[in-house]
Amino acid sequence: MELRQLTDRVFYSMHNKEADRPVLGYINGQKYSLMVDSGNSKKHVELFNEAINNEGLRKPDIISITHWHWDHTFGMHAVEGITIAHKKTNDKLAEIAKWKWTDSEMKKRLEAKVEIEFADTCIRKEYPLLSEIRVTTSDISYDGNMEIDLGDIVVELRHIVSPHSEDCIFIFIPQERVLFIGDAVGVDYYNNCYLDKDKLRSLITAIEEFDFDICVMGHAEPVSKLDILNIISSLLDR
């Protein structure tokens, strides 16, 4: 895994399409370091830790989650730092933690439309042994917004309206002018890929209010503020 540097103190790993591994972020503070999302498996976490170690960086002290989807949270049990997620994220993870991970149970969830086919396929690629799947809630949860002082740099966690999921969080680093938005721009895969344009307009308004230069998405290359606003605006024309 390659770790790429965005600013003096912000890094990210690129997404991997094959098993739907998303971008993971890293903010290097003087006292603490923060990881954006926990990845989709123990292996994903191990590769990320190896990459940051190769750069001479310490393992994350804090791991902050952008939303509940499996590819952003199934690595949570394998990280060594304190995990933080929004209450809505934890509520969903608490529900998923009760699921049984066998071939038959996964097929039942597909038939009942509790799970989607794309996630089912990717989970099976990432986990040849389904018994290795472990879903946990975070150590700390919050409702609304939260700020974390990493020593000489502050990270803001903002709950925003998104068409992708009800629990989407922006992770903003004002001093570095970087905004992590996870999958906030995406459609709602768990609602027949519905794109709520009212929520999309709210998302545009939210992004416009942040003062940043670089936007990091969950499954794409980083883009500028103008570019991400153009991308979202183009979706309104669908």
Q: Residue 238 pLDDT > 90, yes or no?
A: no
Task: Note the pLDDT tens digit of each residue in 137-173.
Answer: 999 999 999 999 999 999 999 999 999 999 999 999 9
Percent of the chain having pLDDT more than 70? 100
pLDDT of residue 236: 87
**Whole-prediction pTM value?**
0.96
Report how far residue 122's alpha carbon sits from residue 71's, in angstroms, rounded to the nearest whole number: 9
pLDDT level of residue 197 (50, 70, 90 thresholds): very high
Q: What is the mean pLDDT of residues 33-46?
A: 98
Task: Note the pLDDT tens digit of each residue in 70-81.
Answer: 999 999 999 999
Q: DSSP letters of 54-120?
A: HTTPPPPSEEE-S---HHHHTTGGG-SSEEEEEHHHHHHHHHHTT---SHHHHHHHHHTTSS-HHHH
How far is the CA of 133 from the CAs of 97, 124, 128, in angstroms? Answer: 10, 10, 10
* Annotated domain spans of the chain: 3-236
CATH value of 3-236 in 3.40.50.2300, 3.20.20.70, 3.30.2350.10, 3.60.15.10? 3.60.15.10
Cα 179 to the center of its chain, rounded Å: 12
pLDDT level of residue 54 (50, 70, 90 thresholds): very high
